[in-house]
């Protein structure tokens, strides 16, 4: 098994995810990009786990999937609230965190 291929795939997915987070204005798409990042990490974990013949990599991946589900739940709720207040989900307009 070539570990490199999996790592490469994960790196590409990660880069796409980061690009999406930084450039997309649509809040939902930002969340989806974050999912891409998380899943690239999952691929890394499962790949290394299999490479080392160790099941704990898969276990961690399962944990991350569970945490990601929770994170998306919270994220979508926030996006929904932003939409209710502003009638828009453009994240570049949301600048109320300004100190």
Query: Footprint of another protein on residues 5-64 (CB under 8 A)?
Result: 18, 21-22
Tell me whether residue 23 or residue 66 sits nearer to another protein (CB atom): 23
Total binding residues toward another protein, as defined by CB under 8 A: 11
Does residue 95 belong to the site contacting another protein (CB under 8 A)? yes
Distance CA 81, CA 91 (A): 12
Q: Please state, in angstroms and as integers, the Cα–Cα distance from residue 95 to each residue in 33, 36, 91, 92, following that order.
A: 20, 25, 8, 7
Give φ, ψ of 95 to 5 degrees. Answer: -130, 30
Does residue 94 belong to the site contacting another protein (CB under 8 A)? yes
Tell me whether residue 53 or residue 97 sits nearer to another protein (CB atom): 97
**Number of other CB atoms surrounding residue 68 within 10 Å:** 18
- Binding region for another protein (CB under 8 A) out of 2-10, 50-58, 69-77, 89-97: 89-97
Applying CB under 8 A, the residues found at the interface with another protein are: 18, 21-22, 91-92, 94-99
């Amino acid at each position: 098994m070539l570990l490199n291929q999996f790592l490469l795939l994960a790196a590409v997915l990660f880069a796409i995810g980061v690009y999406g987070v930084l450039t997309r204005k649509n809040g939902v798409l930002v969340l989806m990009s974050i999912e891409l990042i998380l899943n690239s990490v999952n691929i890394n974990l499962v790949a290394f786990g299999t490479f080392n013949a160790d099941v704990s990599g898969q276990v961690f991946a399962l944990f991350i999937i569970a945490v990601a589900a929770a994170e998306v739940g919270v994220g979508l709720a926030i996006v929904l609230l932003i939409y209710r207040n502003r009638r828009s989900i453009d994240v570049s307009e949301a600048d109320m965190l300004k100190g």
